[in-house]
Amino acid sequence: MTARPHWSPPSRALRAACLALGVASVGCPANEGVDPPGDSFFYPVTLAASPTGNWLYVTSSDFDLRYNGGTVAPVDLACLRARVADPAHARCAALPSASDIRCVADRDQPGGVVCEARGFVRADQVRRISPYAVDSAVARYPDRTRLYVAVRGDGSVTWFDLDDNGGLDCGTEGALGRCGDSHRVGTDSAQSPTAARLPPDPSSISVDPARGWVFLTHQSSDVGLARASLIRDGAAGGGGGAPVMLSALGSLSPGLSSAALLPRAPGSEERSTWVVTSRAEASLSFFQAYPGNATLRDGSPFVYRSAIIGVRGLSGGNNNRAVALDPDASKRRAFVVSRAPEALLTVTLDPANPTAAVVSDVLPVPQGPSRLVVRSVDGRTQVLVVSFDARRVTVIDPDERRVIGQVVTRRGPHQALLDPSPSQPFLYVVDFLDGALEVIDLRPPADPAAPGTYLRRVLTLAPQLPQE
């Protein structure tokens, strides 16, 4: 039996040094000799789900450069749900050569369990990417589905063709295959019709599958380097082909952070517009993709900033993190988590006039908010805020201005994602520090007096089981 290495976090000093230097993609040389684990997670940072709802793609960042790359790992969602429903569920039928699922009671969460991640990961399809992945997105096109991962380490967007069986095609084969250069956009200006390259410090990625736009923000705090960039994927028109880098826009608000694609306003169906937060300026920016105009002999698409507004009425307002839209488009609003102050902001939008956006409400949230997701429950909007420092997921009703409940997480909750299936009300959270995937139960109890596992961590997939 092969001994499994003990996973432990690096020193605080090393984490701080690599974080500071990793932003510039220099200074912490990559480990060229040690392969990453192919059946678990290490410093996971981002989640994406297949449109079919069968697979969850967990991207690990190799943050401390312990290994020779990060990974993208497919997790069998059907098996994960089955394990929540039935504690005796022992194997994932969709995984070739699946190992038995080994679990123990979660000592920090009564009623919860901790299972080895390898029982749920399709190890033969785990793919290797460069270090410092930061965000991911999935788009379904007419004849294919693609996953995009923004990677800070090599300044790329690495892309994958997905299949319904958890397969990941990025120009390589075999477990832990390294994605090929042909599946990395932005690193080679010769691949771009405009000779463009992806700027440094990608921060977030958002896709408009109807047009094939892949939009990125870049987080540099230097106003001369702050960027937004645009990639186009020809798969939106049917057929294959690789995404291509089109343009990068500079001299913007510093610290551009999260982006959300706005609904199209009547009369502007050809426009794709994103609202973007900033971690270094009290502003919200609006960007549009210009598709080009053959009539004017202008066939070169590009991205431009169409509007910018100040975030007013706050103490600071200059450290706004994630942004997400209300799923009820008729309410015309977005939600933003801020760290100055630590709050949930409600932003009222006018899709036809972005400069009319205003901060209409402010609610306090626990320390260190970093991400959020928004859902609709029986016609009511709920906002779920992930607070890294406080180790909490806070569920908020923004209309009643009240906290519905809080979930205590493990040490480093980062990005969260709702289960893509409406019939499966679970929230998935990657824990950056513990290298884990947490499953939070969002199923309301039939009897409020007996809440059961509602708003509790019911399952954690960990690199290894805790010592007894």
pLDDT in tens, the chain (468 residues): 333 333 333 444 444 444 443 443 443 555 677 999 999 999 999 999 999 999 999 999 999 999 999 999 999 999 999 999 998 999 999 998 778 999 999 999 998 999 999 999 999 999 999 999 999 999 999 999 999 999 999 999 999 999 999 999 999 999 999 999 999 999 999 889 889 999 988 999 999 999 999 999 998 766 667 789 999 999 998 877 899 999 999 888 788 999 999 988 766 667 899 999 999 888 899 999 988 765 555 568 899 999 998 887 676 778 999 999 999 999 999 999 999 889 999 999 987 787 788 889 999 999 999 999 999 999 999 999 999 999 999 999 999 999 999 999 999 999 999 999 989 999 999 999 999 999 999 998 887 777 889 999 999 999 999 876
The residues, ordered by sequence, that sit 6+ positions from 88 with a Cβ below 8 Å of its Cβ are: none
| pLDDT the model gives residue 226 | 72
Predicted pLDDT at 448: 78
User: What's the pTM value of the predicted model, to 2 decimals?
Assistant: 0.91
